[in-house]
Chains A and B, each alone.
Chain A
């Protein structure tokens, strides 16, 4: 590279034109504004879609959740199993047992009866699952009716066993603490 070339290279800034027409910037600014508007619109559109989808998701979730909660009742109502008011009777009987107490020495034995209650609840869930998977069938309606009768019988039995324990406890105290049966 000779001196002339170096001279030109070193002074290339001085080889620039004086000014740039203002319209160039105005065009740039105009395009930027349009683009910003487009972006804003796109952002608004996306925001709207996201909010809409979220609301839809929430709605489906809530409905599903309600559906699960009501599933048991729905099935019972659908097959006219609620007419016997078993649920109400069971709840009333359970309520009567909430504060029931037995001597601590009998608590362990008593757990077997409470396990039976848990077992019945598990069995009931199995009925519901069976109906969900295979549809309602006559036999399962019979079993559910029987189930409720058995559950009421069991609650009656728990009550009478508590009464029996406490009756004998009065006659022959075991001098241990009383504990709630935790039904």
Chain B
């Protein structure tokens, strides 16, 4: 059967229109593909009642740069730009770790990627994987950088930026730009272990479990944890509202805990990753750090050098070894036992019902402000050179051979202050 010319014309027109439409679709698709592509990967895994989670931090991403690199000066972004200042790597340094009641660990990582060849970007996104593996020992390992092994950038005098993502599988994919943002959700009862040696900002919700951190250059903002074990170097903001027990070794850091039951400083040596390359630089488990504590039941200082320790309120304080550190206590409720050297101690308010102050020290300044209503015995070693002590305010209670014992207050009390501090300035009022 012969087709009419009108039918042929309409068929041709239809074909032409279809062709134009297809061309537009392709151009549209092309424009989309040339733009940055983002994808948020979400992975969840159920966990048992006892779970330990080990995570690195987003800035742990391996970077290998050869050529000119510049960094964008932003507080919470780890950003690298190439030769012409084009942004190539942009990692959100903030790691938000929310805790929840679910027996589940969840990782959300958003990847934004741009590549000269759209197929490369698509391939990279297809190969990205979150690995939340529930190991035989019940530990969940989290990699904030997914399965990226290395971000590589090369450029030179006659060569523009050449960026590659190397995956753990060894596969290399060319890209122009990579952006990563990670967020974690973990059970409240989990024990969390964090490790990192580049600047990052950890924001942690309420954790009923334990927190073990081994960090360099990190900032940690936590709400509450049960047991905290921290090995820190150059961590300028490690701040917790509440900690049941803490064991902290640190250097060149600032640690603030508002409320704690027991805090121990310097009982363990710094982890190797937190030590300086040359061991001679650091012989104390805690040095050159600043600690600020709110309310504590017990503080035990095992090994401290040139630290600055400020406590608002503490019941019991034991200092086993301290050199050239300064201790400032706003209120001491019960006891202070210190065997130290060159350590200035200041007690702003000694509770009237305190039990014992026993200080062995040398070459330091000691200031104690007592409650006027308190009753106690003060024992001073006779052979010590002590300046600033106003003997007139006290009555000599006993001469015990090596010590002179003075009495303060009219009532009999078990409260005692014993001071063996040669070449010291001692003020008590």
Chain A residues engaging chain B, CB cutoff 8 angstroms: 106, 109, 112-113, 115-116, 118-123, 126, 130, 133-140, 142-143, 146-147, 150, 154, 157, 161, 164-165, 168, 171-172
Contact = CB atoms under 8 A, between A and B. Distances in A.
B423 A118 contact: no
B288 A168 contact: no
Contacts of B317: none
B393 interface: no
Given A113-B324, A164-B363, A172 B234 contact: no
Contacts of B234: 123, 126, 143
Nearest to B341: A109
A119 B217 contact: no
Given A112-B283, A150-B288, A161-B342, 17 more contacts: A109-B341, A113-B323, A116-B287, A119-B252, A119-B282, A122-B281, A123-B252, A134-B199, A135-B80, A138-B75, A140-B199, A143-B236, A146-B236, A164-B363, A165-B363, A165-B423, A171-B385
Interface string B409-429: 000000000000001000000
Q: Is the contact region of chain A dominated by helix, strand, or loop, or is it mixed?
A: helix
B323 A109 contact: yes
Contacts of B217: 130, 139-140, 143
B320 to A, nearest CB: 15
Interface in B184-239: 198-199, 217, 219, 234, 236
B307 to A, nearest CB: 10
A134 B324 contact: no
Contacts of B219: 139
Nearest to B71: A135
Q: Is the contact region of chain B dominated by helix, strand, or loop, or is it mixed?
A: loop
Given A123-B252, A154-B306, A112 B280 contact: no
Contacts of A118: 280-281
A154 to B, nearest CB: 7
B59 to A, nearest CB: 8
Contacts, number: 102
Given A113-B306, A134-B63, A137-B78, A123 B287 contact: no
A159 to B, nearest CB: 13
A126 B282 CA distance: 13
Given A112-B324, A119-B288, A142-B236, A136 B71 contact: yes
25 contacts: A109-B341, A109-B342, A112-B324, A115-B280, A115-B281, A115-B282, A115-B283, A116-B324, A118-B280, A119-B276, A123-B252, A126-B276, A126-B277, A130-B198, A135-B69, A137-B71, A137-B75, A139-B75, A147-B252, A157-B306, A161-B324, A161-B342, A161-B363, A168-B385, A172-B423
Contacts of A164: 363, 423
| Residue with the greatest number of chain B CB neighbours at <10 A, chosen from A121, A135, A161 | A135
B5 interface: no
Contacts of A157: 306, 324
B71 A139 contact: no
Nearest to A133: B63
Contacts of A106: 363
B251 interface: yes
Given A109-B341, A115-B280, A120 B288 contact: yes
A135 to B, nearest CB: 3
Interface in B277-291: 277-278, 280-284, 287-288
Contact of A136 (B63, B73, B284, B306): B73
